[in-house]
Amino acid sequence: MFVSGRKILVLIVLLTVIKPVRGQQDPHFSQYMFNDLYNNPGYSGIMGVTNLSVLFRSQWTGYTGTFDEGGAPTSFIASFNTPIFRLRSGAGFYFVNDKLGPQNNIQFMASYAYHLGVGNGKLSFGLRAGIFGQSIDKDQYRPVRPDDPLLAFGKESQYRPDMGVGIYYKAENYYGGISLNHILNTEFDFGTDELRSALENNMIINGGYKYELNYDIILTPSLLVKTDFVSYSFDISMLGTYREKFWGGLSYRQSEAVVALLGVNLLKDKSLKLGYSFDYVIQAQRAKQATSHELLLSYNMPAVTGGGKKIIRTPRFRH
């Protein structure tokens, strides 16, 4: 039996009774509502348009390490997804480069999703698989003991397979999804058991609802919850869109920051999206810089009709 979109959002809110999470293995993006392919492979192609997106995040801008090395974390993602109408499905891929001081993480993931018509929307079952890479620049570490064998000089990289699954539902006025990530329990060791670490399983739940306040203004509350089944974190946001062209809003990231979001849809068909977010840290500022910045560029390609034939309009039948 299918659970309605409003009930899904209620279930998501109920998840906030578990212990807050203090760290994440994967990069986080404040404009998560425009980055659903990264959050859930079930999103692949479900919007019915081919989309190209890039997102760049500068975390704690201006931060420097104790030895003036490493610098502030930065994250970059480039994604592509498209519907496959003849197969009632969609496909996509994304590339992530996440730099965290001496450590650099790279992901290249491809996804496929099968779509079913359920109620007034689409229910999508997605799978993604690819490569997760970690690199460590040991020159940026400062050992307490210079002869520590675990902190030898030089750079080292390892690449491992990774996989995730997800379910996503999209209706006219609401959406919701659940995904499980790093289900292979991939491990990195860099040649020694003392450095052995694994990509922990985690779950992402997200949802949103579009409410038409009047002819010109649409309000869209949304929620993103992440958990490793021991602890969790959440973002809750409210966006207002004016005449489908301009948007702005606020977001709150639990025990971390408040976020201002701004954006505009450009071109005649509003297919080009530009977005910006500004984070202000409200907790543990002494260990960080107070602000983070994020830029979004997203483009929906023109739809192609069946057979690839171009539509030609004539004055006689134009409307």
For residue 123, pLDDT beyond 60: yes
pLDDT-derived band at 17 (thresholds 50, 70, 90) equals very low
For residue 19, pLDDT beyond 70: no
Cα 27 to Cα 214: distance, rounded to the nearest angstrom: 36
pLDDT at position 71: 73
pLDDT at position 315: 43
Point out which residues pair with 89 in neighbouring strands.
Answer: 84, 114
Cα 300 to Cα 284: distance, rounded to the nearest angstrom: 39
Q: Is the pLDDT higher at 111 or at 119?
A: 111
> What size, in residues, is the chain?
319
- Token digits of residue 105: 């993480």
Once rounded to an integer, what is the mean pLDDT over residues 86-114? 95
Range with the poorest average pLDDT among 133-147, 162-176, 241-255: 133-147
Q: Is the pLDDT higher at 123 or at 232?
A: 123
| Residue type for position 7 | K
For residue 24, pLDDT beyond 50: yes
For residues 51 and 45, the answer to whether their CB atoms sit within 8 Å is: no
Range with the poorest average pLDDT among 21-30, 176-185, 199-208: 21-30
Q: Is the pLDDT higher at 289 or at 80?
A: 80
pLDDT tens string 157-200: 899 999 999 999 999 999 999 999 999 988 887 766 666 778 88
pLDDT at position 16: 40
For residue 138, pLDDT beyond 90: no
Once rounded to an integer, what is the mean pLDDT over residues 37-66? 91
pLDDT at position 312: 47
pLDDT-derived band at 85 (thresholds 50, 70, 90) equals very high
pLDDT at position 284: 73
φ, ψ of residue 47 to 5 degrees: the values are -80, -10
The structure's pTM equals: 0.83
pLDDT at position 2: 38
Helix (H) or strand (E) holding 238: strand 232-242
CB atoms near residue 44 (< 10 Å): 32
Fold of domain 5-309? Porin (2.40.160)
